[in-house]
Every structure is written in structure tokens, then in C-alpha cells.
Chain A
Amino acid sequence: MKNDRASILFWQLAIFATALAIWEWGFPLSKAYLPRALVPSILDPYFISKPTSIWTSFLKLGCFADKAGFLSCFNENSNNLWIATVVTIKNMWWGFLWGTSLGVVAGLVLGRSQYLAKIFEPYVVAVNSIPRIALVPLIILMFGLGDMSKVVTAAIVVFFVVFFNTFEGTRSVDRDQIAAARLLGASELTVLRTVVIPSAMAWVFASLTPAVSFALIGVIVGEFIGAERGLGKLIIEAEARANASEMMVAIFVMMIVGIILAWVVRRVQAYLLRWQPQYDQHA
């Protein structure tokens, strides 16, 4: 077992190092030694940058390379890497929160009421058929270039993912468990609180991991189309200057944000769903 883990780690690191090395030196070397036809020009560092340039750009965008010092660079650039990251995460968090809350509430209500579900079905189908991205320019028109339009975009994207899962989860609650609760004296509201919601939780949580990714996508797309700050804005500005390294910095930051948030959701999920078989602590 231990050997296994060591060798897996070894190969992971080896692949990482090799990939970085090829990225860094691969293109100039192959250009020098291989026939031209074998070297695709999109692999030119002009397009994909290279690790050392990305690192330099990171230091520059992160205000570590400024001769005037970190603080003066930080104050001078209102969309430096740190502010951009914080703003993107903040908008994403609010969008995620609103989208999830409304999605859970709507899913529970329509999931519990056959009557309301029938009434709203065509509207849900219709609105769900609109590609969410198509709404972004409209949302920016309505809510402006500031943070609010990004929050709304993320919330709309998240809402539908969470809504459909909560709806399904609510509908698939075991009828006998509900009957058992009623026979033990539970009112309709108590059944909702003590049986339907805990039972639907597994479905809700299954949607939260994708919801986090969707919230990030929603915010970034919003920032692409019109924003004053944020990581998406950083990428658009770098694109205008054809600066691949800076785009790569923003992309890596998003990757790290995504990894951390997915991890947090998984931990919360493992705790709240600890009654489910797949979360056996010592298995």
C-alpha cells in the first residue's frame, strides 16, 4: 500500500515536471531540431506563454515586482491580482448563495405540491431553454457594470442546477417514511422539516459541486462582457494587449480557487451526509 502511494506520487510529480519542462523549452528546441511541419505554431509561447513568463507576470500583477513597493502598486492599480481575485470570489459567493437558496426553496415548494408543479412546468421548461449566457448582456444593461450584474448572472446559472436537483430529491422522498412520520404525530410542516428536507439533502448536495463551478463561470462571463474589475476583466485586458502570460496567471488563480471551493463543499457534504453509506469514516 505504502509503496503504491509513493509510486503514485512519484509519477504525478514526474508528469508535472515533464509538462513544465516541455512547456518551457519544448517549442524553441523542436523548432531548432525538428522539421517545421511537426511543430504546430499555436504552441508558440506567444500564444501559450511559458512557465517562467507566467511567474514573472504573476509577480508583476501581484505587485511583488514593483520598485515603488507592494503598497503603492496595490493602491495604484484598482484591478491588481488580489483585488480582482477577491472581487470575483465575493461576487461568486453571493451569486452562489442567492441561487442556491432560491433554488432549494423553489424545488421544495414545487416538489411538495403536485398542483403548483403542474402550473409552473411550462414556464420552468421555457426559461430553462434559454442559454444562460445569452442573458448576460441584458443583465448588465439592467444592473450596470458593477458587481451586482455578476451576482445576478451567477445566481441565475446556479438557481436552475440546484432547483432541478432539489425538485427531484423532494419528489423521490420515501412515501412510507413520510407515512411513518405522520403516524408518529408529525404535522405537514414537521414532515417537511424532519423528513423531506434531510432526505432531499443528498440531492441538493449532489448539485452543489457543479453549482460552484457554474457560479464561477457565471461571474467570469459577466466580467468578460462588461466589468470594472475582477479576474475576467483581467483576462480581457490582457487579451487586448495580446499578453498570454497575464491571461495564464488569471487562469491559474481561477483553477486554485475552484480546487479550494470544491474541497470545501466536499467537506461540508461529508459532514452533513455522514449518515450515508459512502461516507463511512473508517472504512
Chain B
Amino acid sequence: MMSTPPAHARADSASSASPVRIQVTGLDKVYPSPTGDVVAVEKVSFDVRQGEFVALLGPSGCGKSTILNMVAGLLARTGGDIRIDSDEVVLGTINRKVGYVFQRDTVFPWRTVEANIGYGLEIARVAKTERERKVREAIEKAGLAGFNKSFPRMLSGGMRQRVALMRTLIMEPEILLMDEPFGALDTHTKLEMHKTLLEIWERERQTVLFVTHDLGEALTLASRIILLSARPGRLKEDFEVPFPRPRDAVSLRETREFGELYTHIWHSLGEEFRRTKAE
């Protein structure tokens, strides 16, 4: 199951002494259907340690978002165990340490950019002056300066996703769950978002579990990649991404090491894509 890509130093791994923040053990998800049960996720186990950026990578429909939603407590699991900081995840119970970013546009269209970003602080009754200061900082960080009072309809898809990202990050989650947050964006906008996310993460080092089907994205951002097989989702490979930090989202893609690792994983992933298509 485990295979380490050749000729790369482990430059970016979290120390094995770091505490485990997310622990998934023997996770199963079965969707009952009149034509027989559909197994979406089968016996998946992995750990995410403090300060790791883990990408959950796999072909469409392999159950990676399903796994993430079960970790977030948004979806019931059929079997297995999920723990965050050794506490079992209970369906429908919101963990304040956890932030979640959706793939779909979920900014509130009736709130301005600053009211969207400040939403969580507002309902947590954070004092107005502190809220305003934090919102200002977040807007600065996300490169949204000048759009404070704009409504989302005036923004591009990329800018709206920046708002969604900051709306989550302003709550200072220790653990960040991201469900293909840039999946709906065009290539160029996606790269811009990678830059922003890298900047923030390399400074703040949240523990991240990031779902994607984009290999380049996983290699650019993550410190570790968990590769899932086509349905039913099973753990296929689990390896470190050795590129040093800070990373540059654009120039990293031009290095030889990136190309080699990309090709190596592409072969594993390619198999899965062929299997999905053959069905």
C-alpha cells in the first residue's frame, strides 16, 4: 500500500512526534439503493498530524468528499471510527476547532463582503471594534481591499471563493477541511488562489485536509497526498510531497522534481481514471 516516490528527501513532513489531530480508522460508507447497496467508501484509515497539509486525491466519484463530510460530522458513516483530537466525531455536532470550505459558492448573497467575512464573529458576539479589525485584516490578506462594501454578485467566482475562505479562516480554526474549494475556478484563478492559500498556510500552519481530483493542485499545496482508488474508495497510496517551503505556486510547476512526481502519481491515478471510464 505504501510506496515512497524515488529520489526525494522528506523535506516537508510533519514530525512524527506531532500529535494526531484527525484519526480515521476502518471508515465505511454504504448507500442503500433499490438495485443493491452502493459501497462508496471501504475500509479507509489514515491519520492527519498537527500542522500537516494533507490532500485527499482521487478520481471523481471515489468518495473523497464523502470522507471529508463524515470527518466534518455532516454525514453519517456506516462503519469505522473518526476522531478529532481523540474525541469521536458525532453527526450534526459542530466542532469549533474545525473550519470547512465548500466547493459550491456558499457566500451569503445578501451580505456585503465584510459582513460575509465577519459572519462567524458576529454570531459569536465578538465586540464590534475587534470584529472590524479582524475583518479588515482578513480582507487585506485575501487581496479583497476596496471591495469591503460590495455584494457578492459584483464579484468574480474567484473573489467569492476568497470571501468564503476568509469567512472560515477568520474563526481561526485549528483544523481546516476543504472540499475541492477551487474546483469550479478556471486555471488562472486557481493558481492565484493557490498563491494566497500557500501564503496563509505557510504562516499559520493549520492542520488541513484538502479534497481534490486535481493532481497538480495536490502537489502544489500539500505536504502529504493520500491517493484513493475509484469507487469504492479505498486507500491506494500515501506519500510525502517533498518540495521545500515556501513554495511558489507558479515556478514550482516548472521544476524537474515536480514533473517527475507528477508522472509517477499520474500512472497510479491514470489506472483509476481508466477504471472509472470502463464502468
B20-49 CB contact bits vs A (8 Å, 1 = yes)?
Answer: 000000000000000000000000000000
Task: Looking at the assembled complex, report how far the CB atom of A225 sits from the nearest CB atom of chain B, in whole angstroms.
Answer: 42
- The answer, yes or no, to whether B141 is at the interface (CB within 8 Å) is no
Residues of chain A with a CB closer than 8 A to B164's CB? 180
Interface residues of B in 151-205 (CB under 8 A from A): 151-153, 164, 167-168, 171
CB-contacts of A122-179 with B (<8 A): 174, 176-177, 179
Number of CB contacts from chain A to chain B under 8 A = 60
Determine if A277 and B106 form an interchain contact, defined as CB atoms under 8 angstroms apart. Answer: no
Contacts A183-B100, A276-B153, A277-B153 hold; do A198 and B123 have CB atoms under 8 A apart?
Answer: no
A138 → chain B, closest Cβ, in Å? 41
**Nearest-Cβ distance from residue B46 to partner chain A, whole angstroms:** 22
Residues of B within 8 A of A198 (CB): 108, 110-111
A177 interface neighbour in B99, B108, B171, Cβ under 8 Å: B108
Number of interface residues of A (CB under 8 A): 23
Chain A nearest CB, measured from B119 CB (Å): 6
Given A179-B74, A274-B151, A184:B110 Cβ within 8 A = no
Kindly state the separation between the CA atoms of A275 and B123 in the bound complex, as whole angstroms.
21
- Do A180 and B106 touch (CB < 8 A)? yes
**Could you tell me if A184 and B168 are in contact, using CB atoms closer than 8 angstroms?**
yes
The answer, yes or no, to whether A181 is at the interface (CB within 8 Å) is yes
A195 interfacial by beta-carbon distance below 8 Å: yes
CB-CB < 8 A to A195: which residues of B? 108
The docked-state distance in angstroms from the alpha carbon of A176 to that of B96 is 18
Q: Is B80 an interface residue (CB 8 A)?
A: no
- Confirm or deny: B124 has a beta carbon within 8 angstroms of a beta carbon on chain A: yes
The answer to whether A35 has its CB under 8 Å from any CB of chain B is no
Contact of B72 with A194 in the complex, beta carbons under 8 Å: no
* Residues 172-210 of A at the B interface (beta carbon under 8 Å): 174, 176-177, 179-186, 190, 194-195, 198-199, 201
Chain A residues with CB under 8 Å of B110's CB are 198-199, 201, 273, 275
Assess whether B119 is in contact with A184, with CB atoms less than 8 Å apart.
yes
Do B171 and A176 have beta carbons less than 8 Å apart?
no
Q: Which residues of chain A (258-283) have a CB below 8 Å from chain B? A: 273-277, 280
Known contacts A176-B102, A194-B123, A199-B110; decide if A183 and B72 are in contact (CB<8 Å): yes
Contact at B106–A194, with CB atoms within 8 Å?
A: no
Contacts of B99 in A (CB 8 A): 183
Residues of A within 8 A of B96 (CB): 185
Report yes or no: A176 in contact with B94, Cβ–Cβ below 8 A: no
Known contacts A194-B119, A276-B109: A185-B153 contact under CB 8 Å: no
Known: A275-B151, A276-B153. A176 touches B120 (CB 8 A): no
Given contacts A177-B108, A274-B151, A277-B153, contact A185 B102 (CB under 8 A): no
Contacting A at CB under 8 A, from B66-106, are 72, 74, 94, 96, 98-100, 102, 104, 106
Give B contacts to A, CB under 8 Å: 72, 74, 94, 96, 98-100, 102, 104, 106, 108-111, 119-120, 123-124, 151-153, 164, 167-168, 171
27 contacts between A and B (CB under 8 A): A177-B106, A177-B108, A179-B102, A179-B106, A180-B100, A180-B167, A182-B94, A183-B74, A183-B94, A184-B120, A184-B123, A184-B167, A184-B171, A185-B96, A185-B120, A185-B123, A185-B124, A194-B108, A198-B108, A198-B110, A199-B110, A273-B110, A275-B109, A275-B111, A275-B151, A275-B153, A280-B153
Name the 6 nearest CB pairs between A and B, nearest first: A184-B120, A180-B106, A198-B110, A275-B151, A275-B110, A183-B100
